[in-house]
Structure 1
Amino acid sequence: MLGAPFAAATVTLALVAPAAAADDAPTHFTLDVPPQGIYGGTEVEPCGWPTTVNLQGSCTGTLIHPEVVIYAAHCGTGYSSIQFGENINGGVARNVPVEYCKTYPGGGPGNGDDFAFCKLAEPQLDIPIVPPLMGCETDVLQPGAEVTIVGFGNADNGPYGIKREVTTTINSVTNEAFIGGNGKDSCQGDSGGPVFIKLPTESGVGSWRVFGITSYGGACGTGGYYSMMHNGMEWFESETGIDLTPCHDADGTWNPGPDCGMFPMDAGSGYGSWAEGCSGGPLGGFESSCGQPFGAEPDDTPPTVTITMPADGSMFTSDPDSGKASITISATADDGDGWGIESVTLQVGGADVPGGGDFLAPYEWDASFPPGIYTLTARARDYAGNEAVSAPVVFGVDMEPPPPPPETTGSSGGGTGGDGGGDGGSAGTEGGTSGTGGTDGVGQASGDDGCGCRFGPSDRGAAGFVLGLLGVAGLRRRRR
């Protein structure tokens, strides 16, 4: 958190300094003022508070969504990457590129609107997210309530760049919160960082929330002022285009979705390792802090899923140098009034592609294919565990794919298959001889909800080859 004189100098300098290049460290931290940080606190254990991040050695921020980091407007926007871990001096655990950063117009210290965010270029899907405090939950922000401040600044017991925490209490709340004192505080270097609070266990919740954005104050150790995330949530969501509040609307109305649950119960204690996103700690169930939990109504209806690109029957030309064709694959999925889409997994030849699961829309993959004919499908799973598989899409690389067989019926009771095909209707003969299904088993099988009619043994052999290829080359999920 910045002391008041330093905050004013930083804001003025940010207005007149030229914008930093994308690959450079922010230019607005050139003042010869020693950074300071958490006072009266302790070092965070490995994987503790994993959503607390560092902004290129200048400020602290909070991951509140796999793609969004919230921090303070007075920190500026000249960041090209975000650092995850506990010590930025000895090698960070993760260095994630930034797509863009924005500050709230006119926002800064003193107004309760010290709001800014960065949109990550690579979503962090394996880190347990502590959600923002919203709606009726903000009633816990009362004088005397216990909170935890986390940051990377210098401290009274060690150097800058180490993640530290301090537990203190709220003094007062207006349009911003005044927190800490008596030697427990944040200071320079912690700017933009989080303040966490645990919902009371007697409410039946007991999981953690994040609400504060470190903004400004007086002498370190005497307490400071924090903007509050819920006051800026409508701006955050409108600018990112992302739903950042899994249990509420941006205005605080209770509206739980499928992600309104499984929140960390012990966010400050280290669990797992950074290789697995510091996951493995205890999680709560579906939340009911301000109303009925999500999933109160059963969902037994499977989702729908469609491959939208490439088009069925497409043919691609391989690159002369690599001998492969680079193809972007896209799918859409919808769960109607159900619990929502959990994941969409790419399949080739009817088998899941290793690493082909996508957990955020848009569902897109980049892949390379050698010459051959391939059948793509996509498998969608909703949060209730219902699954569906798309109709197949067949394409060729340096080979023209076969045309789809015409829709036909058998001559005796509606049999749809030939000698190797599907079965007939209730009054027909199974695989009737007058049906037009081919002899290689490409007719639709009984009970097959999708059109499996272009799934042949030769395609499955090709699928095995491309699965091995994708496993080695690495399938890349696209993000806009």
Structure 2
Amino acid sequence: MRFMSGVVVAVGLLGCGGSEIEQTPIETVGHTDQEIVGGVEARPNSHPWIVSLQQDGSHICGGSLVRVSATQEESDIVLTAAHCVYDGYFSVTATAGAHDLYRPTSAQVTARVTKAVYHPQYNPDTTLNDIAVLKLDKPIKFDTSVAGACGQSSGMRRNLAPQRAGGNTRVPVCLPASGERVAENTMATVAGWGLTREGGSDTSSILLQVGVPVLRHQDVANSYRSQKIFIDENAMLGAGYKKGGKDACQGDSGGPLVVKGSQGYVLQGIVSFGVGCARAGLPGIYTRVSNYIPWIHKQIRSLSAVR
């Protein structure tokens, strides 16, 4: 579900079965028959860091695998949105290497979430500091072909060309430098198994993605001021189009917003909230990951059993 903020009922947190973003820059707008509004099906394995957080076998949120050791090719840590686990994480599992949730493959690995630590200053009413670190009961092994690396994708989809399978199934995403800022108009990609249209009832079984540009903070702040919602520049970033049409939606919450960097794809945002899905003038809001790097590393050192 998209979290309903106490500030404005229309605000939806994209976790807990609902998220609000999609990946891949495409030319056409619409396709409301697909999840992630205005998006396309991701190439299998092209987002090898994404995980499906599930409860009782049903997808509720997205998440991202991160590297916890420079020498170990496995991880028991996932980053997601705080609102995905704020009400508890009983029987929540994380599935990596998935594409079609209804058709599991041998590449999929599922682990149980044994601990969830959300940011101590997370505010469920304003969605400020919407980030959490999850500890899994067993480490998920990475593909050996990417030893020591992060953010490696074998072919993230950029258009509506014929689908081609990627080669990497489980790879950690790169983390940004502490305090790093993404330049205005930088194209980012968001992916998830969430709703394909505002007000829809079914999430997508197939991983979808959509491309969205990072927006100037002042423009985002001005847009949300009309909704009486404050956008904190340090903790949040906005991405989308002024005319709307492409966005994350319920069920995408907690999932990754990535930007291609020199070393690989970097986790610049975590799907957090929005007013509706893909509405004109109301872009998706993401947790700015670079604002939390010291805290993330502290949690990894405390929680991870991988050494």
TM-score above 0.5: yes
Moved more, 52-61 or 205-214: 205-214
Deviation at 1:90, TM superposition (A): 2.5
Instruction: Write the distance in 2 (CA, Å) between the matches of 1:183 and 1:3.
Output: 21
**Partner deviation per Cα, 1:171-225 (whole Å, 9 max, x = no partner):** 12412101113211001100111100012xxxxx352211101111112113211
2:82 counterpart residue number: 73
Match of 1:234 among 284, 294, 301: 294
What letter matches 2:247 in structure 1?
Answer: D
1:58 to 57, 60, 68: 60
Runs ≥4 residues deviating over 6 A: 6-11
Q: Determine helix, strand or coil for the equivalent of 1:171.
A: coil
Is residue 79–residue 254 contact of structure 2 (8 Å, CA) maintained in 1? yes
Which structure would you say has the larger RCO, counting Cα contacts within 8 Å and 6 or more residues apart? Answer: 2
Q: Secondary structure at the match of 1:124?
A: strand
Which residues of 2 match residues 198-277 of structure 1 at below 5 A? 198-199=260-261, 205=262, 207-222=264-279, 223-241=283-301
> What is aligned with 2:117?
102
- The equivalent of 1:121 in structure 2 is 137
Name the amino acid aligned to 1:148. T
Q: Note if contact 1:59-1:75 (Cα within 8 Å) is conserved in structure 2.
A: yes
- 1:193 matches 2:250: no
Root-mean-square deviation (CA, aligned residues, Å) is 3.3
What's the CA shift for 1:10? 12
* 1:246-286 Cα deviation digits (max 9, x unpaired): xxxxxxxxxxxxxxxxxxxxxxxxxxxxxxxxxxxxxxxxx
Q: CA deviation at 1:6?
A: 8.6
Q: 1:37·1:188 contact (CA, 8 Å) conserved in 2?
A: no
Q: How many residues were matched structurally?
A: 220
Q: CA offsets, 1:25-52, max 9 Å, x none?
A: x9x779xxxxx95111111122120111
Cα displacement string for residues 97-152 of structure 1 (whole angstroms, at most 9, x for unaligned residues) = 2231122224146454101121112212323222111147x24x121111001111
- Which of 203, 212, 232 matches 1:168? 212
Contact 2:131/2:287, CA 8 A, preserved across alignment: yes
Alpha carbons of structure 1 residues 243 and 143: separation in structure 2 relative to 1, 3 Å: farther
Instruction: Specify whether residues 118 and 8 from structure 1 end up closer, same or farther in structure 2 by C-alpha distance, changes over 3 A only.
Output: farther
Percent identity over the alignment is 26
Shift of 1:160: 2.1
TM-score, normalization by structure 2:
0.63
Instruction: Tell me which residue corresponds to 1:424.
Output: none
1:288-333, CA deviations, whole angstroms, 9 ceiling, x for partnerless residues?
A: xxxxxxxxxxxxxxxxxxxxxxxxxxxxxxxxxxxxxxxxxxxxxx
**Contact kept in structure 2, 1:4 and 1:216, CA below 8 Å:** no
Q: 1:360 to 1:100 in 2, by over 3 A?
A: closer
Q: Residue 87 of structure 1: which of 86, 100, 103 is its match? A: 100
One-letter amino acid of the counterpart of residue 43, structure 2? E
1:148–1:166: 8 Å Cα contact kept in structure 2?
yes
Structure of higher CA gyration radius: 1
**Where does residue 2 of structure 2 map in the other structure?**
2
| Matching residue of 1:47 | 45
Matched ranges for 1:379-398 at <5 A: none
SS in 2 for 1:122: strand
Alignment of 1:27-42 (within 5 A): 37-42=35-40
| Secondary structure in 2 matching 1:235 | helix
Distance 1:102 1:198, change over 3 A: same
Q: Which runs of 5 or more residues in structure 1 are unaligned?
A: 12-25, 31-35, 200-204, 245-358, 362-480
Contact 1:214–1:227 (Cα < 8 Å) also in 2: yes
Aligned 8 A contact 2:133 2:299 in 1: no
- Is the 8 Å Cα contact of residues 121 and 128 (structure 2) preserved in structure 1? no
Q: Distance in 2 between matches of 1:88 and 1:172?
A: 35
Question: Match for 1:97: what amino acid?
Answer: R
1:360 deviates by: 4.5
Partners of 1:69 and 1:118 within 8 A in 2? yes
